[in-house]
Amino acid sequence: MFKHYNMNQVVLPLDLEVKLEKNDIAYTVNDLVEQIPDEAFSQFSRKTGCPSYHPKMMMKIILCAYTQSTFSGRKIEALVKDSVRMMWLAQGYEPSYRTINRFRVDPEVKELIRQCFVQFRCQLIQNKLIEEEAIFIDGTKIEANANKFTFVWRKATEKFSTSLIEKSNQMYDELLEDEIIPGIERESSDELSIEELSAIENQLDEKVQVYDQEIEENDDGQERKRLRSERKKPKQYRKQFQDFIRRKLKYQLDMKIFGDRNSYSKTDHDATFMRMKDDYMMNGQLKPAYNVQLATEGQFALAYDVFPNPTDTRTLRPFLNYIEDNFFELPNFIVADAGYGSEANYSDIIENRALTPLITYNQYRKEKQRKYKNDPFNTHNWEYDEEQDCFICPNNQRLTFRYVSNRTDCYGFTRSFKVYECEDCSGCPLRSMCTKAKEGNNRRILYNQKWEQQKEYTRKKLSEEKTGEIYGKRKIDVEPVFGFLKANLGFTRMSVRGKAKVKNELGFAFMAVNLRKYAAMNSGHNGYYNINPAKNGANHLKLMIGAISNYCRLVMSQPLFYTFFVI
C-alpha cells in the first residue's frame, strides 16, 4: 500500500512557510533583516523606471544563500527557483543572476551590511551571549579574484622609470648635438616631463614630414636616396620618443595604483601580493590577496575591515578607528597576538584611548625561556647602575650613556633610543662572543626606555589572573571564526574585484558565519533556529484555510473543471 500520488491532479499552492521547519535558518535571516531601520533602505528608492526588487528581499536571499555556501550569482538564482526557504524569502520573485550580482556589489549595500552587524550585536547582548568586556582581533589573508601571474612590482617599476629618464635625457642631448631639432624650454634638467617629451616628438614628426615632402617632390634617384638616408635618424628618434611617452604614462599610472604598497595585480588593482599559508611547495609563492581584519567576541564576528598590508602591525590603529566610527564603542580590553605588538600600537591604546591592551610582543615567549634568562651576553641580563646611568658587561666594563637618538620610520612614527657605549673594548677576551662590531669599534647598546616600560606593563597584565584568563580566550575566540569561514562555509577566494566590492562580499560571508553559529547554538534539530518563538498551530491552520478558500473562488470562476484534494 502506498501513499496517494497522482501527477495529474492540481495541488493547491499553499503558503511555503508551512513547509519550513519551525527552527529553519530562513526565519533567522528574515528576522535579522527586518530589524534594519527602514531609513537604511531609502537610498534604493527610484521614482522613474521599472520598480526594482525590494532591497530587504535581496538582502535575505543573498544572506541565506551564503549560509548554504553558495556564492555564485547563477547558483543563487538557481536556489531561488529550487529551494523552498529561498522561495519563501523571495515571496515568488525570481531575480536574475545579473540583478543579484549588481545588488551585492552596490556601494549602498555597505550601509545595509553595517546595520546587519549592529543589529546582530544588539541581539547578542540582549540574549546575553557576549559580555562586552573585550574584543579579540586577528587577521587572515584571503585570495583575491585575480590570476597569480598578473603581478606588478614597485621596485621593478622604479628601476625601469629611472632607466627611461636617463635614456630620454641622453637621446635629447644627442638630438641637440647633431642639430636635428632646436632646443625646448625645460622645467627641470633632471627629468623630461610628458609635455616636454611630446614637444620633442612633435618636432621630430615635423622634421620627418619635411623629408617626406622633399622626397616626393624630387625626381633624382640619388638625391632621393640621400634624403631617405638623412630621414632615417629622426624617424628612429621619433619612434623612441613615442615609446618613452607611452611607457612614462604607464609608470606614472603604476605608481599611483601602488600607493603605499610594493605590488598590485593587473586584474584587481586593489589586491596586493602576499605569502599565503597554503603554499604546499614551500617555495615562497606569492598570490594576490587581501588582509582581512576581524574583531570577535563569543566566536561571533562583530566588525571587519580590509587592508592591503601583508602584515598586521600597521592595521590595528586604523581598524580600531573604523570600529569606533561604524560599529560600536570599544570595550576595556583589546586582545590580539604578537603580530600587533609594537610601541605605536601600545601608545595608541594606552595613551590615546585609555584602554587596556592584552597584546604580546615578538620576544614575549622567548624571554620566558631558561636559555634566554641565563645568557650572559644578552644585554637584558646585564647589570644596570642607576646612579651612574650605565650598564656593566660580562667583562665588568661600563657602558656609559652618550646621547639620545631619535629615529623616524617611513610611516612617521618616532622612537627615542638612549645610546650606551663601552669605554674600551680593545683586548677584551670576550669580544667575539659579545659583539660583531668591527675591530676598533666599541660595544654599543640602544635602549628604548618607553618600549621596555610597555613590555613590562604587558608582562604584568598577562600575569594577573583576570587579564590572563581573558587573553587565554584569544585562540578559542577569533581563530575558530576563520575556521568556520574557510572550512565550514568554504569561503576561500573572493568572487568579486575591487576593495569596495570585496568588503561587501566579506560582510555577507561573515554574517552568514554568525547566522549559522547562532542557529546551531540555539537549535536542537539540523543546526537551524528561529529567533522568534514558534508560531501557534492555530495560526497556521487559519492561513491554510484562507489560502484554500481564495484559491477555490479563483478556480471555480473559470470555465474549466478541476479536481481538488486536501490532506
For residue 562, what pLDDT is reported?
36
Together in a domain, 38 and 112:
yes
3-state SS assignment for residue 514 = helix
Q: What is the pLDDT of residue 281?
A: 62
If asked whether residues 59 and 116 sit together in one domain, one would say yes
Q: What does the block give as the cell for 391?
A: 650598564
Identify each DSSP E strand in 109-259 by its residue range: 134-143, 151-153
Which helix H or strand E contains 292, and what residues bound it?
strand 286-297
For residue 365, tell me if it sits in a domain.
Answer: no
Residue entry with cell 616636454? 196
* Residue 137 near residue 291, CB atoms below 8 Å: no
Of the candidates 3, 95, 107, 160, the one whose C-alpha atom is nearest the C-alpha of residue 496 is 107
Domain boundary among 264, 294, 329: 264
Regarding whether 127 and 33 lie in a shared domain, the answer is: yes
pLDDT at 1 over 90: no
CA–CA gap between residue 171 and residue 141 (Å, rounded)? 46
Confidence of residue 389 (pLDDT cuts 50, 70, 90): confident
Whether residue 299 is contained in a domain is answered as: no
Contact present, 294 and 320 (Cβ < 8 Å): no
Q: Are residues 427 and 519 in the same domain?
A: no
Kindly report, residue by residue over 473-504, the tens digit of the pLDDT.
998 999 999 999 999 999 999 999 999 999 99
pLDDT value for 376? 86
The rounded distance, in Å, linking the Cα atoms of 342 and 76 is: 44
Average pLDDT over every residue of 349-378: 89
Number of Cβ within a 10 Å radius of residue 364:
16
For residue range 14-39, what is the model confidence (pLDDT) as tens digits?
677 677 888 889 889 999 999 898 88
Alpha-helix residue ranges (DSSP H) falling in 464-536: 465-472, 474-477, 479-483, 499-522
Q: How far is CA 119 from CA 105, 114, 126, 206, in A?
A: 21, 9, 10, 68
Of 336-340, 372-376, 423-427, 542-546, least confident by mean pLDDT is 542-546
Cα separation, 343 vs 370, whole angstroms: 26
Residue span of the structural domain in which 203 resides = 153-264
Q: How far apart are CA 543 and CA 534, in angstroms?
A: 15
Q: What is the predicted pLDDT for the residue at 557?
A: 43
HEC assignment per residue over 122-147: HHHHHCCCCCCCEEEEEEEEEECCCC
Give me the pLDDT at residue 491, please.
Answer: 93
Residues 204 and 174 in one domain: yes
- Grid cell 587577521 in the structure block, residue: 139
CA distances (Å), 267 to each of 152, 279, 503, in order? 11, 22, 17
Is 346 among the domain residues?
no
Q: Is 447 exposed, middle or buried (0-12, 13-18, 19+ CB in 10 A)?
A: middle
118 in the same domain as 181: no
Mean pLDDT, rounded, for 406-414 = 85
Q: What does the pLDDT look like over 270-325, one tens digit per residue?
A: 999 998 877 666 666 789 999 999 999 999 999 999 999 888 999 999 999 999 99
**In terms of domains, do 25 and 122 share one?**
yes
- Tell me what the mean pLDDT of segment 400-408 comes to: 89
How many CB atoms are located within 10 Å of the residue 261 CB? 15
- Report d(CA 283, CA 286) in Å as an integer: 9
pLDDT over 80 at 98, yes or no: yes
Band of the pLDDT at 538, cuts 50, 70, 90?
Answer: very low
Closest Cα to residue 67, out of 485, 385, 443, 436? 485
Cell output for 254: 603604476
C-alpha 155: how far from chain center: 23
| Gap between the Cα atoms of 472 and 462, Å rounded | 9
Q: Are residues 60 and 167 in the same domain?
A: no
Last residue of a domain, one of 264, 298, 313: 264
**Same domain flag for 119 and 35:** yes
User: Are 162 and 127 in the same domain?
Assistant: no
Summarised one tens digit per residue, pLDDT across range 109-130 is 999 999 999 999 999 999 889 9
CB-CB contact of 444 with 379 (8 Å):
no
In a domain, 426, yes or no: yes
Lowest-confidence range among 216-220, 294-298, 362-366, 540-544?
540-544
Count of the separate structural domains present in the chain: 3
CB 295 within 8 A of CB 432: no
Mean pLDDT rounded to a whole number for the chain: 85
Q: Compute the half-sphere exposure of residue 284: CA atoms within 13 Å on the CB side of its CA.
A: 0
Query: pLDDT, tens digit, for every residue of 180-227?
Result: 888 888 888 788 899 999 999 999 999 899 888 888 888 888 888 988
Inter-CA distances, 364 with 155, 342, 455, Å: 34, 12, 8
Tell whether 320 is covered by a domain.
no
pLDDT at 132 over 70: yes
Would you say 356 and 332 are in contact if contact means Cβ atoms under 8 Å apart? yes
Task: Please give the C-alpha separations between residue 436 and each of 200, 276, 392, in angstroms, as whole numbers.
Answer: 55, 35, 18
Confidence band for 435, pLDDT divided at 50, 70 and 90 = confident
Q: What is the pLDDT of residue 412?
A: 82
Clarify whether residues 123 and 159 are in a common domain: no
Q: Which residue, chain included where needed, has cell 647633431?
A: 178
Question: What share of the chain has pLDDT > 70, as a percent?
Answer: 88
* Domain assignment present for 128: yes
pLDDT at 544: 40
Q: What is the pLDDT of residue 109?
A: 93
Residue 432, domain member (yes or no):
yes
Q: Residue 549: pLDDT band by 50, 70, 90 thresholds?
A: very low
Domain boundary among 264, 298, 329: 264
The reply to whether 123 and 186 lie within a common domain is: no
Q: Could you tell me if residue 324 is inside a domain?
A: no
